[in-house]
Structure 1
Amino acid sequence: MLKPFIYNHQRNVIQKQANFLLKTMRSVADRKVLATVRDTAVNHVVDAFGALTAEQYALLEQLSSYEAAHELQQYVDQLDRYVIPFPDVSPQQVQKLFPKAKKLKVPDLATIDLLHTTYLRWIDIATNRLYIVYPYEGTLVGIEGQITPMNKNGFCMFCHRNQELGFFNVKTKNGGSPDNFSSLGQYVCMDNDACNHNITNTVALERFIQSAGK
């Protein structure tokens, strides 16, 4: 049996290409054009992965084989059985990641759809602080910082989509002195679920986490 090998951001790529294919199927009748679009969609999906086994490639290539819209979406939905979920994490584990946050308000982890989560994040509305938990290089890491609503839409640096933005500002250690800090800022989504739903690449997220952890 094929084991899970798809991460949430890669599933988002598949969904994005399926949506593009559906739109093309509804507006284009030329079979040659459709065949080209199908091949392009599969190539974009495969490019989101590293090395693939023949079985994994065959599963992803099925994206190009469906004619009916409901069959194509059913195929994407069935891929959930091959998705690697976000690691199970307890409130105690989360608390340990933020030792300085004495009154940390951890969200109800049981209500979070770990299957469709690339990074765990929540905003403490009372303090306007954004908390992020991410499995970086095999270890759960946590970063926190002030998030200021911008009250406008713009380009989120993590998911690369046009969303309602906040400015996320994280204090980072600068140099050898424990009292010497600098700040790292980025424009990110205010909507926790939307960012996880849209993210198709973790490069920017991991780069930010790496910089914030210094």
Structure 2
Amino acid sequence: MVNPFIRNHQYNLIKKQTGLLEHACNTVSDRKVIDAVRYSAQSKIMEALPDTNDLQKQVLEKISTLNTPGEFQHYLSSLVPYMAEFAPLTESQVKKLFPKIKKLKVPELAEIDYRYMTYLGWIDIATNKLFIVYHLNGQIVGVVGKYTPANKKSYCCLCNRHEEVAFCVVTTKSKPANASPDYYKAIGKYVCLNSETCNKNITDVTALEKFIQDVE
């Protein structure tokens, strides 16, 4: 039996590479070109999951045998049972991350499918605040920032996709040793207004983790 080992962002990458290969199979007649796309897709998937064991590799490498639309769909569906959940959160856990926020409005956590989540994100329209909760190095961390809707599409710094974004400004928690009492540093980034969309797009957590580490 193969235990869950594919995180949401990795599944998104697999889905993207599978889509590229399916498109090539449907539109390209040159077998060498298709084989090159197939090799590239398989290589990128294996690079994204470097710590897989032999059984897990066998599950992923089935992409090398796909040709028809039905086979591609079955491949993606067959991977869902191997998706590892974002560790479920309780309301009290989330509230402890933001002790300065009174009357914090927490999303309906029981309604979330944690398999399809890389981070928990939501906005509070009343206070113009954007919240992010993530598991980093074995700990739950929370980030809160002021957001301003951009009223246009641009590239999200977290998922690197062209979506409706907001400019989010976060005040860093750390201060230099000799900093004055009124010292503060803020970091601003464009992020998806809709975290559900962002979670469907994200294929790499490098930018997300760097953003969190920069403001911690």
Share of identical aligned residues, percent? 45
Q: Is the 8 A contact 1:121 1:192 kept in 2?
A: yes
Match for residue 145 of structure 2? Answer: 145
One-letter amino acid matched to 1:5:
F
| Structure 2: runs of 5 or more not aligned | none
Q: RMSD over aligned Cα, in angstroms?
A: 1.2
Match of 1:181 among 173, 184, 191: 184
One-letter amino acid matched to 1:104:
L
Match for residue 116 of structure 1? Answer: 116
One-letter amino acid matched to 2:70:
H
Distance in 2, Cα, partners of 1:198 & 1:75? 19
Deviates more, 1:176-185 or 1:200-209: 176-185
Q: Is the 8 A contact 1:18 1:73 kept in 2?
A: no
Q: Is the 8 A contact 1:2 1:55 kept in 2?
A: yes
Match for residue 200 of structure 1? Answer: 203
Q: TM-score, normalised by structure 1?
A: 0.95
Distance in 2, Cα, partners of 1:140 & 1:179? 28
Confirm or deny that 1:62 pairs with 2:65: no
Match for residue 105 of structure 1? Answer: 105
Deviates more, 1:71-80 or 1:132-141: 71-80
One-letter amino acid matched to 2:136:
Y
Match for residue 193 of structure 2? Answer: 190
Match for residue 93 of structure 2? Answer: 93
Query: Which secondary structure state, in structure 2, belongs to the residue aligned with residue 72 of structure 1?
Result: helix
Q: Is the 8 A contact 1:14 1:45 kept in 2?
A: yes
One-letter amino acid matched to 1:175:
P
Q: Is the 8 A contact 2:22 2:67 kept in 1?
A: no
Q: Number of residue pairs matched? A: 213
Deviations 1:32-90 (A, max 9, x none): 22122111110111111222212111111111211211221121122111111111111
4+ runs deviating over 6 angstroms? none
Query: Which secondary structure state, in structure 2, belongs to the residue aligned with residue 181 of structure 1?
Result: coil
One-letter amino acid matched to 2:97:
L
One-letter amino acid matched to 1:40:
S
Query: Which secondary structure state, in structure 1, belongs to the residue aligned with residue 185 of structure 2?
Result: strand
Confirm or deny that 1:5 pairs with 2:8: no
Distance in 2, Cα, partners of 1:66 & 1:22? 8
| Structure 1: runs of 5 or more not aligned | none
One-letter amino acid matched to 2:193:
M
Query: Which secondary structure state, in structure 1, belongs to the residue aligned with residue 152 of structure 2?
Result: strand
One-letter amino acid matched to 2:51:
A
Deviations 1:7-29 (A, max 9, x none): 11000000000111111111012
Q: Is the 8 A contact 1:18 1:41 kept in 2?
A: yes
Confirm or deny that 1:211 pairs with 2:214: yes
Q: Is the 8 A contact 2:86 2:114 kept in 1?
A: yes
